[in-house]
Amino acid sequence: MPRFFTNLSECIRCGVCVKACPKGLIYQNEENIPQMTDGAESRCNNCGQCVAYCPTEASMQTYSERAHLEAALQYKSERSETILKFLKSRRSNRNYLPVPLSRQELLKILETANFAPSGGNNRTLRWILIEDQQKMNEMRKLIAQWFDTTCREHPVYSKRYAIDSILSRIQKGQDVIFRGAPHVVYCVGPEKATWGPVDTGIALTYFNLACEAMNIGCCFAGYATKSAETQNIRDFLGIGFEEKVWCALCFGRKSLVPYRIPNRGEVPVTFL
């Protein structure tokens, strides 16, 4: 059960936690001590705003209790251009070194992606990450079979994809499915999730940028995403009956690095 509590020896009764709570579940009592409204526990979604904005580290809630909490990065004007250049320098990567990432590196990326915001902080998404290289090869074979069977009969995919060309390149040993990436990650969630596509886009962006911060390349894996509609691949991944693979990314260490930032042209914006 979610809970909020205050370290009275550190609390300065400033009321910041009250202002920060997006659902208005915290109030200050007659002694100006912040506390959660009686019976509000079921409405708390552990977003952590109360913890994040407390200036004295006095506020605490369920997920943060007994955990080591890092200091948030504070704004400094001299960092702005570096951060903006970092965002503009990111490129989709389709050239990888055939070296798997360590479990520690994979967890570091996932832990960062886990901070992606979601609609109502409902956090309905989960990750399926193929780490084992034998399973990566099995997945390549399954997707190749999908091209040669289900995809040929699909009213849209049979016209969208040059199936014979794709299969020919696969037979020649070219990895047109994962581009030689040692890993693929699937973002999975309830099929009827209201904000599923939006939450997925944000989560994958966080994942992508976490990779970039570690000099690891990413690329959206369309074939992996679409083929996961078939039952044998869903079974391989362990997808639940009411779950959907919203999108997939292949990723790994870069074999090419960008040296310049191409121009994107004028921003398509309308100011009102």
Q: What is the pLDDT of residues 51-77, one digit of tens each?
A: 999 999 999 888 888 788 888 888 888
Q: What is the pLDDT of residues 161-209, one digit of tens each?
A: 999 999 999 999 999 999 999 999 999 999 998 899 999 999 999 999 9
Helix ranges restricted to H, 172-195? none
Scored b (16 or more CB within 10 A) or e, 76-92 reads eeeeeeeeeeeeeebbe
Give me the pLDDT at residue 247, please. 96
Angle of CA points 183, 106, 186, to nearest 5°: 50
Could you tell me if residue 18 is inside a domain?
Answer: yes
Could you tell me if residue 212 is inside a domain?
Answer: yes
Which residue in the block uniquely carries the two structure tokens 């999908």? Answer: 146
Could you tell me if residue 81 is inside a domain?
Answer: no
Could you tell me if residue 228 is inside a domain?
Answer: yes
Could you tell me if residue 211 is inside a domain?
Answer: yes
What distance in Å separates the CA atoms of residue 226 and residue 262, rounded to the nearest whole number?
Answer: 30
Could you tell me if residue 106 is inside a domain?
Answer: yes
User: Hey, how many other C-beta atoms are within 10 angstroms of the C-beta on 185?
Assistant: 25
Inter-helix orientation angle 77-89/196-213, to 10°: 100
Count of CA atoms in the C-beta half-sphere (13 A) of 163: 17
Q: What is the pLDDT of residues 126-166, one digit of tens each?
A: 999 999 999 999 999 999 999 999 999 999 999 999 999 99
Q: Provide mean pLDDT across the span 238-243.
A: 93
What's the residue count for the chain?
A: 272
Could you tell me if residue 37 is inside a domain?
Answer: yes
Average pLDDT, whole number, for the chain?
A: 93
Q: How confident is the model at residue 83 (pLDDT cuts 50, 70, 90)?
A: very high
Q: Across the chain, which distance is largest between two alpha carbons, in Å?
A: 76
Q: Are 218 and 92 in contact (CB under 8 A)?
A: yes
85 has a pLDDT exceeding 70: yes
What are the residues whose beta carbons fall under 8 Å from the beta carbon of 45, sequence distance 6 or more?
A: 2, 23, 120, 121, 122, 123
Q: Are 112 and 195 in contact (CB under 8 A)?
A: no
Whether residues 104 and 193 share a domain: the answer is yes
What distance in Å separates the CA atoms of residue 128 and residue 177, rounded to the nearest whole number?
Answer: 17
User: Hey, how many other C-beta atoms are within 10 angstroms of the C-beta on 115?
Assistant: 10
Could you tell me if residue 270 is inside a domain?
Answer: no
- Residue 153, CA distances (Å) to 21, 110, 143, 165 in order: 52, 36, 15, 16
Give me the number of domains the chain comprises. Answer: 2
Q: Which range marks the domain in which residue 175 is found?
A: 87-253
Whether residues 172 and 207 share a domain: the answer is yes
Whether residues 50 and 163 share a domain: the answer is no
What is the domain-level CATH number for residue 34? 3.30.70.20
- What is the signed CA dihedral for 152, 130, 135, 246, rounded to 10 degrees? -20
Amino acid at 105: E
What is the domain-level CATH number for residue 190? 3.40.109.10
